[in-house]
């Protein structure tokens, strides 16, 4: 059944690591949940951070601001790094890098777009 949950930034769990601050928008500890397991993270990297992904999930990292590397490839604002068969992704920067990391279990269904939503 359709549902809706409203959450402010203060409601979202934020973890401090050596080299990164990670806010969980959807995933472990978040008040927001979907019917299909997934993770949506707002990541601010100041040095290095490793993102762990379950082996059967796929996802992407989107560059919001700054520059650095993702798994050794240059990465910055507007860039997308797709994750299809990795279980860990390494983000590094010498200044600051903000990114969104999104992953989930594939539906293994054909994508059908209808109006403002995708089935």
Please state the separation of Cα 109 from the chain's center in Å: 22
Q: Are 101 and 59 in contact (CB under 8 A)?
A: yes
pLDDT (tens digit per residue) in 25-36: 999 999 988 888
Q: Is the dihedral of CA 89, 93, 96, 79 positive or negative?
A: negative
pLDDT digits (tens, 9 = 90+) for 56-98: 999 999 999 999 999 999 999 999 999 998 899 999 999 999 9
pLDDT at 118: 61
* Residues 90/70, Cβ–Cβ less than 8 Å: yes
State the pLDDT at residue 24: 96
Q: Please, which pLDDT band fits residue 49 given cuts at 50, 70 and 90? A: very high
Report the CATH number that the domain containing residue 97 is assigned in CATH. 2.60.120.10
Residue-level pLDDT at 10: 93
Q: Domain containing 97: what range?
A: 9-105
Share of the chain above pLDDT 70, in %: 94
Tell me how many domains the chain contains.
1
Taking residues 90-116, report their average pLDDT. Answer: 88
Answer yes or no: is 110 within a domain.
no
**Whether the Cβ atoms of residue 115 and residue 102 lie closer than 8 Å to each other:** no
Is residue 1 domain-resident? no
Q: What is the mean pLDDT of the chain?
A: 91
The Cα–Cα gap between 70 and 54 comes to 18
**Model pLDDT, residue 19:** 96
Kindly give the pairing relationship between strand 88-92 and strand 58-70. antiparallel
């Amino acid at each position: 059944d359709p549902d809706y949950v409203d959450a402010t930034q203060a409601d979202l769990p934020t973890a401090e690591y050596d080299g990164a601050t990670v806010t969980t928008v959807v995933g472990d500890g978040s008040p927001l949940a979907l019917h299909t397991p997934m993770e949506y993270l707002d990541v601010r990297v100041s040095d290095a951070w490793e993102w762990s992904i379950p082996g059967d999930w796929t996802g992407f990292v989107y560059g919001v601001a700054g520059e650095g590397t993702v798994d050794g490839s240059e990465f910055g604002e507007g860039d997308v790094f797709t994750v299809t068969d990795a279980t860990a992704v390494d983000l590094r920067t010498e200044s600051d890098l903000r990114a969104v990391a999104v992953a989930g279990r594939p539906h293994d269904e054909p994508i059908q777009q209808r109006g403002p939503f995708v089935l």
